[in-house]
Amino acid sequence: MPVLYTNTLELPHLPEMVFPNNILYLIHSSGAQVEFNALDALRKVCNGKLPIKVACADVWKESRSPSHLEEKIKPFDWTFSSDYRGTVTGAFNIIQTDERINIEKLKEREKILFYQDLMLYEDELHDNGIASCTVKIRVMPSSFFVLLRYFLRVDNVMVR
């Protein structure tokens, strides 16, 4: 893993699989740019205690000696949950809007000129589920569609 990740991120460890070369760039002729990359997505992971526990966590904790247990467990978001929405640079004027994605437009049968699915990072949560962050792009003659998705499944606990 590039030293940049370990030096930049304030996480005790990284996801099992990080794909630093998987980057989606969208560049406008004005110079404005939207980028999707693993490093910036991981920067948005909260480095604090998370209430999500694996199904057997309480049983495991009860079987351990309470002395120094809290000291040894450093709280961080072990699911690598991220509210990353992309990295914006250049001459953008971002405004709040009530507009939604036009689902009918997405249903139209248009020729797909280009499609790519990029994995940014993934972790199997020590065999207790999966956390993944992916970005997909679909380009049609009249438009393009980008889907950034964070998926989390903690076995016998939750899916998000």
Q: How far is CA 3 from the centre of its chain?
A: 20
Q: What pLDDT score was predicted for residue 55? A: 47
User: Mind listing the pLDDT tens digit for each residue in 100-120?
Assistant: 999 998 899 999 999 999 999
Please give the Cα distance from 131 to 109 (Å, whole number): 32
Between residues 58 and 23, which one has the greater pLDDT? 23
Mean pLDDT rounded to a whole number for the chain: 84
> Could you tell me the pTM of the whole model?
0.80
Provide the pLDDT for residue 4: 85
Gyration radius of the chain over CA positions: 19
Beta strands in 28-143 (DSSP E): 33-36, 87-89, 114-123, 129-139
